[in-house]
């Protein structure tokens, strides 16, 4: 997810900056707009990007839960 945030934060914040300029927000109001709306938007779109593109290429992420290993069951029962 962090790589998606790295990739997406700049374009999202740039769009939010253009929106702030269109709303005639400058200085402190523009900063507050970017902090209150831009950062959550960057996180939201980064997570969507992560789900759409990054997650399917990550190793160790499977779509099915792994089956229990029968060789480990006696060790688990002995520890209880």
Classify the C-alpha dihedral 8-9-11-13 as positive or negative: positive
Assign 43 a pLDDT band (cuts: 50, 70, 90): very high
CB-side neighbour CA atoms (13 Å) of 52: 8
- pTM for this structure? 0.62
pLDDT at 7: 87
State mean pLDDT over 70-77. 59
Average pLDDT, the chain: 80
Is residue 74 predicted with pLDDT exceeding 70? no
Q: Tell me the percentage of the chain whose pLDDT exceeds 90.
A: 19
Ranking 34-43, 46-55, 70-79 by mean pLDDT, the lowest is 70-79
Q: Are 4 and 50 in contact (CB under 8 A)?
A: yes
Percent of the chain with pLDDT over 70: 74
C-alpha 24/C-alpha 40 separation (Å) is 21
């Amino acid at each position: 997810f962090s790589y998606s945030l790295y990739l997406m934060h700049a374009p999202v914040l740039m769009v939010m900056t253009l929106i702030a300029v269109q709303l005639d927000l400058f200085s402190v109001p523009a900063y507050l707009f970017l902090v209150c709306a831009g950062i959550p938007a960057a996180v939201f779109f980064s997570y969507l990007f992560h789900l759409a593109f990054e997650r399917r290429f990550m190793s160790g992420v499977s779509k099915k839960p792994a089956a229990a290993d029968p060789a480990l069951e006696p060790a688990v029962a002995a520890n209880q």
